[in-house]
């Protein structure tokens, strides 16, 4: 009986593994094809031509900030230097207890104003609104702490332009970012949201708001995250985008039609997965209304962000990501297997339920099963080692393919030495790093109801900026 149960569960795990990796393989192929096509169809000259005439929509950049004093001035200064004809920057100080607001006052000569604001979305109380006497397109909102979603909603109420960009306070945008994304909204009125690629800035040399040299960071955790980010964007999101099934636009960087977001009620403040939840809600509202629409991912532009450099911050981040995923899937569980939602209901959402939400439970159960099976003499060591070797090799292959896509088409980390280091780290990923984060995601799954809406803390070192940038 015990052997029969073990064999059945082993067969179920093997089927799960095969189906999951089949998804990965198809996604990798589609992602490679789509990124290649995108880079062929967007020459640099087309971006320069888009600056001529009125071929753009003005953009409001919303930057929520909570205890970001160490890097807020540098981030805002870099954002103000973006190459784009017309934009505004709205920083939302969300009840910071450090010197975030004081640093902004000192660097940008803020004065209090009384703007005419039509409050379309309810938020926590706004204490004051400030404008810069140096930069006419910079405003700062000071409000009671309500979380990132609440801060973004406060920024939406003040925003003037038809397109808004949500960007983290520790992020750094490439100078042509708005040009690359804005054209999609101009070319197609059906476009509701567009996300770009997010890359770790750790280890980079930055001057005047631009990445001058992209080097591998020194830390083990930061290097591991380079591989993870490449795999997530150039295989995952590129693949889903190609089949119109994109459910996630990173909270670190995404552009949206302001009115469409206001129409669905803005960001939902009772979840830590406000970025994914908003995108799924936009999908749902458009399909419920029978409207034709588009949600896109584009591989270039690039948004650089500071990634966790210590285990405590990394575990907290992955715990929050898993809880945000589960909250979003639960909020929109009614979309699954409903013909109205097409491939979202029959493919994208079931995939996220089975292979993202449930994966830590399935994977951890497999780890527990191995020693039990060995102790009960139910495990074939030869088969187990072969399976481990195949799984490790396949994971390394996919990781290197993702890094290779980025290197080949977008010229990131082109040095052979860097590629070799990333290859070694892709091997190490499956030998402890992955298991530790799987356990953290399992903890998140088990505590999602108790910790709903709770954010963790991340230790900030500040972006890799030059001295001049750090002081505005």
Q: What is the pLDDT of residue 147?
A: 93
Q: What is the pLDDT of residue 265?
A: 96
Dihedral in degrees, nearest 10, Cα atoms 456, 461, 464, 470:
110
CA-CA distance, 264 to 153, in Å (whole number)? 12
Q: What is the pLDDT of residue 457?
A: 59
- Encode 217-241: b = buried (16+ Cβ within 10 Å), e = exposed: beeebbbbbbbbbbbbbbbbbbbbb
Q: Is the pLDDT of residue 365 over 70?
A: yes
Q: Is the pLDDT of residue 164 over 70?
A: yes
Q: If we measure between CA atoms, which residue out of 201, 144, 212, 214 comes closest to residue 169?
A: 201
Q: What is the pLDDT of residue 455?
A: 62
More confident residue, 402 or 171: 171
In percent, the amount of the chain with pLDDT more than 70 equals: 88
Mean pLDDT within 43-70:
75
More confident residue, 176 or 62: 62
More confident residue, 148 or 461: 148
| Cα separation values, 209 from 82, 206, 374, Å | 8, 6, 56
Q: What is the pLDDT of residue 468?
A: 41
More confident residue, 204 or 348: 348
Dihedral in degrees, nearest 10, Cα atoms 127, 167, 353, 367:
-100
Least confident of 45-54, 233-242, 261-270: 45-54
CA-CA distance, 28 to 192, in Å (whole number)? 25
In percent, the amount of the chain with pLDDT more than 90 equals: 50
Cβ neighbours of residue 333 under 8 Å, at least 6 residues apart? none
First-to-last alpha carbon distance for the chain, in angstroms, is: 70
Q: What is the pLDDT of residue 63?
A: 97
H or E, element range at 82: none
Q: What is the pLDDT of residue 118?
A: 82
Q: What is the pLDDT of residue 472?
A: 38
Instruction: Retrieve residue 47's tokens.
Output: 């971006």
The β-bridge partners of 198 are: 303
Q: If we measure between CA atoms, which residue out of 223, 249, 224 comes closest to residue 236?
A: 249
The answer to whether the CB of 325 falls within 8 A of the CB of 273 is: yes
CA-CA distance, 248 to 322, in Å (whole number)? 13
Q: What is the pLDDT of residue 414?
A: 56
Q: Is the pLDDT of residue 413 over 70?
A: no
What's the gap between Cα 146 and its chain centre?
21
Mean pLDDT within 257-261:
97
Cβ neighbours of residue 202 under 8 Å, at least 6 residues apart? 217, 219, 222, 306, 307, 309, 464
Q: What is the pLDDT of residue 1?
A: 67
pTM of the complete model beyond 0.85? yes
Least confident of 104-108, 109-113, 344-348, 402-406: 402-406
More confident residue, 377 or 65: 65
Confidence grade of residue 466 (pLDDT, cut at 50, 70, 90): very low
Mean pLDDT within 408-422:
68
Q: Is the pLDDT of residue 429 over 90?
A: no
Least confident of 197-206, 208-217, 308-317: 208-217
Mean pLDDT within 174-179:
86
Q: What is the pLDDT of residue 459?
A: 59
> How does the average pLDDT of the chain come out, rounded?
85
Q: What is the pLDDT of residue 374?
A: 73
CATH of 24-348+456-470, one of 2.102.10.10, 2.40.30.10, 3.10.20.30, 3.90.550.10: 3.90.550.10
Confidence grade of residue 287 (pLDDT, cut at 50, 70, 90): very high
- Tell me: the pLDDT tens digits for 303-356? 888 899 999 999 999 999 999 999 999 999 999 999 999 999 999 999 999 999
Least confident of 23-27, 238-242, 371-375: 371-375
Least confident of 246-255, 326-335, 390-399: 390-399
Q: Is the pLDDT of residue 381 over 80?
A: no
CA-CA distance, 384 to 183, in Å (whole number)? 51
């Amino acid at each position: 009986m015990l052997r029969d149960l073990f064999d059945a569960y082993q067969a179920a795990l093997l089927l799960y593994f095969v189906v999951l990796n089949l998804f990965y393989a198809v996604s990798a192929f589609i992602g490679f094809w789509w990124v290649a096509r995108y880079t062929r169809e967007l020459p640099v000259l087309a971006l320069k031509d888009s600056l001529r005439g009125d071929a753009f929509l003005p953009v409001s950049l919303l930057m929520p900030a909570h205890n970001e004093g160490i890097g807020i001035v540098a981030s805002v200064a870099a954002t103000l230097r973006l190459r784009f004809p017309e934009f505004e920057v709205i920083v939302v100080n969300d009840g910071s207890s450090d010197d975030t607001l004081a640093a902004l006052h000192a660097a940008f000569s803020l004065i209090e104003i009384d703007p005419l604001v039509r409050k379309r979305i309810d938020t926590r109380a706004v204490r004051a609104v400030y404008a810069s006497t140096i930069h006419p397109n910079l405003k700062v909102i000071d409000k009671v702490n309500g979380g990132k979603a609440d801060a973004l909603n406060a920024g939406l109420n003040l925003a003037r332009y038809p397109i808004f960009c949500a960007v983290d306070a520790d992020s750094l945008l490439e100078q042509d970012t708005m040009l690359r994304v804005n054209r999609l909204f101009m070319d197609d009125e059906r476009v509701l949201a567009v996300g770009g690629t997010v890359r770790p800035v750790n280890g980079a040399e930055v001057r005047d708001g631009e990445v001058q040299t992209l080097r591998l960071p020194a830390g083990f955790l930061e290097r591991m995250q380079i591989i993870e980010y490449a795999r997530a964007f150039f295989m995952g999101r590129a693949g889903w985008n190609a089949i119109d099934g994109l459910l996630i636009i990173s909270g670190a960087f995404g552009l949206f039609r302001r009115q469409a977001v206001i129409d669905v009620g803005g960001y939902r403040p009772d979840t830590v997965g406000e970025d994914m939840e908003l995108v799924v809600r936009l999908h749902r509202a458009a399909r419920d209304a029978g409207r034709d629409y588009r949600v896109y991912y584009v591989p270039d532009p690039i948004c650089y962000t500071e990634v966790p450099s210590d285990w405590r911050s990394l575990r907290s981040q992955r715990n929050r990501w898993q809880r945000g995923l589960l909250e979003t899937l639960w909020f929109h569980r009614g979309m699954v297997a409903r013909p109205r939602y097409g491939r979202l209901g029959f493919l994208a959402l079931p995939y996220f339920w089975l292979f993202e939400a449930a994966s830590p439970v399935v994977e951890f159960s497999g780890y527990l099963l191995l020693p039990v099976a060995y102790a009960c003499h139910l495990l074939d060591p030869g088969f187990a080692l072969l399976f481990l070797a195949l799984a490790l090799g396949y994971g390394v292959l996919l990781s290197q393919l993702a890094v290779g896509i980025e290197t080949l088409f977008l010229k990131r980390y082109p040095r052979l030495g860097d590629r070799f280091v990333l290859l070694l780290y892709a091997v190490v990923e499956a030998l402890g790093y992955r298991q530790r984060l799987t356990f953290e995601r399992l903890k998140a799954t088990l505590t999602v109801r108790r910790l709903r809406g709770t954010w963790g803390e991340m230790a900030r070192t500040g972006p890799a900026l030059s001295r001049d940038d750090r002081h505005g």
